[in-house]
Structures are given as C-alpha cells and as structure tokens.
C-alpha cells in the first residue's frame, strides 16, 4: 500500500499519517496491508495564498494531478494520492467588513476517482487578513509583527496562533483528510 503525498511539509505529512490511522482500517481494499507514505515536493496551480474557495480546492486537486504526472514520468505509481491546501476563504458580506476564514482542504484520489474534504475554518482577524489580501504581505510576516516575536515558524502554524494552540495546522488537515477519505471508507454511500 503506497500513499503519495503532494507535499514534504512535516505538518501535512503527519496529518496524512494520523488520518490514515483513523480511516485506513475501514478501507477494506487496503485492510492490513503495510503502508508506505511517500512525500513529494510538487507544484500547484493556485496562488501562494489562495483567497477563495475555488483557489483552495484547485490547489489541493492540482497537487494530486501534478503528483500523478510526476510519478508517471518516474514510472512509479501509488494506491492513493493526496493533495493538501490551506489559505483564505474570503466571503464578501453585505455589512461593512468582509469575512475571512483560514481553511484547510484535502483531495484524495485513487487514480480514477477523487474526493474533496474540508477541515473547517477559523476567522482571521482583520488586522492580519487586510494586509495579506490588500497589500500582498505574507501572512507569517504580519503575524510576527503583530505578536512582536517569531510565531510564524511555530509548527502549529496560523491555526495555532489563532486558536492559542487548541487546533494546529496538522489538526485542521486531519479533519479535511478524514472527510476526503470518506468516499473510500464509506464507498457504498459514494457510489
């Protein structure tokens, strides 16, 4: 059993491993097979900081597509391919301020069919969201300035910063992955 991950980032790789612990035994096709997790640095077609639902989903899906192409060129394949993306989902409201959420998305594909999963969202404060969206400043720089210290390199990421380490970046991806794997561990419902 080979699971290819379209990222080498530790939080993303560990999220896939944690999600697989929860759902792997439920996927009858791969039950009791030894699992190998392979991580690859692949490109995506969405912006570095996605700002919409469409860009988040496209980022996760394009990582899988590029991963499959890369492995095909290397004459390799996997049983499952995983793409993960996080960024902003900007919602224009009728009120005086837009709403901005940090969201994590997953896309899992077996080479034929794929499924998205969403890991929830946390509101991004305006003093962080506005400079990122309006001036293109990297979110880590904005967070570090706001905190007066280096918080962007924390392994919990922005999720940890916004939730005071109740939810980490890895945790947000685990939920997205369990949701994306649903089409495989609850296949009768998704046929």
pLDDT tens by residue, 129-157 = 999 999 999 988 898 888 776 665 666 68
- Exposure on the CB side of residue 142, measured as CA atoms within 13 A: 18
Residue 2 confidence (pLDDT) above 90: yes
144 vs 142: CA distance, rounded Å: 6
At 38, the pLDDT band (50, 70, 90 cuts) reads very high
* CA 119 – CA 174 distance, rounded (Å): 7
Q: Assess contact for 62 and 83: CB atoms under 8 A.
A: yes
Label residue 158 by pLDDT band (50, 70, 90). Answer: confident
pLDDT at 96 over 80: no
In this predicted model, what pLDDT tens digit does every residue of 179-188 receive, in sequence order?
Answer: 999 999 998 8
pLDDT band at 48 (very low <50, low <70, confident <90, very high): confident
pLDDT above 70 for 93: no
C-beta of residue 129 within 8 angstroms of C-beta of residue 158: no
- Among 14-18, 83-87, 93-97, which stretch is predicted with the lowest mean pLDDT? 93-97
Domain ranges of the chain: 2-123+166-190
pLDDT number for residue 45: 81
Separation between Cα atoms, residue 184 and residue 111, nearest integer Å: 12
Instruction: Retrieve residue 78's tokens.
Output: 């996997």
Residue 75 confidence (pLDDT): 96
H helix intervals, the chain:
10-23, 53-73, 126-135, 139-147, 157-163, 169-185, 187-190
Q: What is the pLDDT of residues 3-33, one digit of tens each?
A: 999 999 999 999 999 999 999 988 867 666 7
CATH of 2-123+166-190, one of 3.90.950.10, 2.40.110.10, 3.90.226.10, 3.40.50.300: 3.90.950.10
Contact 106, 173 (CB under 8 A): yes
For residue 97, the model assigns a pLDDT of 80
29 CB-near residues (< 8 Å, 6+ apart): 184
């Amino acid at each position: 059993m080979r699971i290819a991950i379209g990222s080498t980032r530790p939080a993303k790789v560990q999220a896939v491993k944690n999600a697989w612990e929860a759902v792997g035994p439920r996927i009858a096709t791969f039950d009791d097979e030894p699992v190998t997790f392979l991580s690859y640095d692949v490109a995506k077609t969405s912006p570095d900081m996605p700002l919409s639902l469409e860009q988040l989903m496209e980022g996760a899906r394009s990582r899988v597509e590029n991963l499959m192409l890369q492995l095909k060129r290397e004459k390799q394949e996997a049983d499952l391919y995983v793409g993960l993306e996080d960024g902003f989902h900007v919602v224009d409201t009728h009120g005086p301020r837009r709403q901005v959420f940090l969201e994590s998305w997953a896309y899992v594909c077996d080479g034929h069919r794929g499924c998205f999963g969403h890991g929830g969202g946390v509101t991004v404060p305006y003093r962080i969201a506005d400079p990122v969206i309006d001036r293109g400043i990297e979110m880590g720089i904005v967070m570090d300035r706001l905190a007066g210290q280096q918080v962007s390199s924390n392994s919990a990421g922005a999720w940890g910063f916004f939730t005071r380490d109740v939810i980490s970046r890895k945790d947000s991806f685990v939920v997205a992955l369990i949701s994306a794997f649903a089409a495989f561990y609850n296949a009768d419902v998704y046929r």
